[in-house]
Structure 1
Amino acid sequence: MNPFWVEFPQRAHFPLPKGGHVVGQFWKGSEKGVSPACYPCHSLLGSLKEESLGQGKALPGAEPFCRLSLFPPGTTWSLPVSVAMALALLGSFLAALLALVWLGSRWLRRRGAGWGHQTLCAAGPARADDVRALVVTAHPDDEAMFFAPTILSLGRFQAQLWLLCCSSGNYYNQGELRKNELVQSCAILGIPPSNVTVIDHRDLPDDPAVEWDTHLLSTFVLKHIETNHINLVITFDAGGVSGHANHIALYTALRSLQSEGKLPEGCRVLTLKSVNLLRKYISILDVPISCLQSQDVLFILTKEESEQAKRAMRCHHSQLLWFRHTYILFSRFMVINSLCLL
């Protein structure tokens, strides 16, 4: 085992710790007469913890330690010039690459604002202004946290929008407060209060530990689709974006309606594509990656629309814990939505 070197002022009276022993010579001398003394000891922690030092007490007659290190005093580190140059070049390359990705992301973001119209018309109704879209969410705040790029982009294309929230978000007994926050958020996103519906059913609680009944959920969704003549439904995919059981239950319900042929003719279902944790929190840097990935519809917000999405999210005051502020700043779902046809 390599010895540790313990440095302290020479005038300190330092008895050798129990279990330690000197394995080299005893150093003295310094430039300005304040002589340090160093004992190399095989045990830095084991023996010192047994003494008063381990309890944060000063040694008898000694000043606090100046340094604890693995090497004798005066030891210096140096790198070969070739290694230092290689590291500098590597750092410069990575910085240039990051800057290039950032600039490319911003350029694609400006250009990509119109792509959603083209991809939407290819995947849904022939004209974007013929779209009657229903966004199906599990909790108040899902619409701003996950679907803001879709909602704002559809609004930009003059689509008619409805929102169906399948629980009141009453997990912490804040159901009524969260309903009001939802209406305020939707108003900023362009969905009028008359088009916002919240299901408050005892069998559909805001609880990740409760498995929502697929038949019951399908009944509510289908009734809303038929009543409002919806021709495009947007909800979560099989991963639920965050893995929340209530999110995944919405996907299961829509998949069940489609597989059983219960959806009206011409009604399409788009699911929000889940991504891995790294991509989830790199904001607009995910734009190039999203452009290269396969999806049926891609919505990218402009900078102004992204600020609008953030204002909508801030309407959910009851949910704005510290990590939600981090989410607002860094989540790609505040800027980008990749959707796939079910």
Structure 2
Amino acid sequence: MKRILITGAAGFLGSHLCDKFIQEGYHVLGMDNLITGDLKNIEHLFGNKNFEFYHHDVTKFVHVPGQLDYILHFASPASPIDYLKIPIQTLKVGSLGTHNLLGLAKQKEARILIASTSEVYGDPLIHPQTEDYYGNVNTIGPRGVYDEAKRFQESITMAYHTFHGLETRIVRIFNTYGPRMRLNDGRVIPAFIGQALRGEDLTVFGDGSQTRSFCYVDDQVEGIYRLLLSNYAQPINIGNPHEITILAFAEEIIKLTGTNQKIIFKDLPKDDPMQRQPDITRAKELLGWEPQVNRAEGMKITYDYFKTLTEEELRYSEHKDFSKYIQK
């Protein structure tokens, strides 16, 4: 049985990856320091003989006993609210954490896939974004802690690939959504749905003309799975190319939830990208992958999930405290 280490296992995407690899017959070792992850996302796996959980911070030395065939590095804050609250930890998990895991992969002779992001493109000057675009990033802006952590992560991964001959893969993840997202974490979909559930007006930043492209989590996981098992070491975009403006999307949410909230406008945050749309030509040609779930179908599943949350879970989502992890 193949053994795979998944960091960030208790997070939104990490937990779905744990499910996928268990379903595919792997022995999964999940690792998370639970800063932004939640054990509720993986508690259904605790009785499974093919799942182990390590409560550990990957910015510290990482030891895993026994054989290891694959590593998926998904440990990182991924939402603006999170990485603005814990900027140092965000930088450390992208740099020290990635270095530790690359060293582990080298020691175990394991293939490693690292989770990069569309944020490496910054506020892009080309559209849609292709993998050979170098990006337009403000290194010292508020989003720089996340953007540059991911850009460094790609650089050190490719250095290990070229210098040590390590088997590496890099996925550039575009906006992904689905069950297990945390409400009010600053990302568009949970923010809008959270406001709808509370009967609040929907907040659109700027005039709403900025665009995003939303990929349902099952499609994202399938793309990552195919990339890991491919022979391609260069970065690949995995996302849904169907673009929509934020204003139009807010209107879709109001229609989906059957509510009558107004849309209110606030100032656009600094360095907020105006366009997000992946060019997935490379994923189609090399992985035979493209999204299968349309936005209407995926959003209904996601909204139905959020409606099942208890009042306690909604409050926990809103007020998770990171203060004890903040390093000044």
- TM-score exceeds 0.5: no
Structure whose CA Rg is larger:
1
Tell me which interval the TM-score lies in, with the shorter structure as reference length: 0.3 to 0.5
Q: TM-score, normalised by structure 1?
A: 0.34
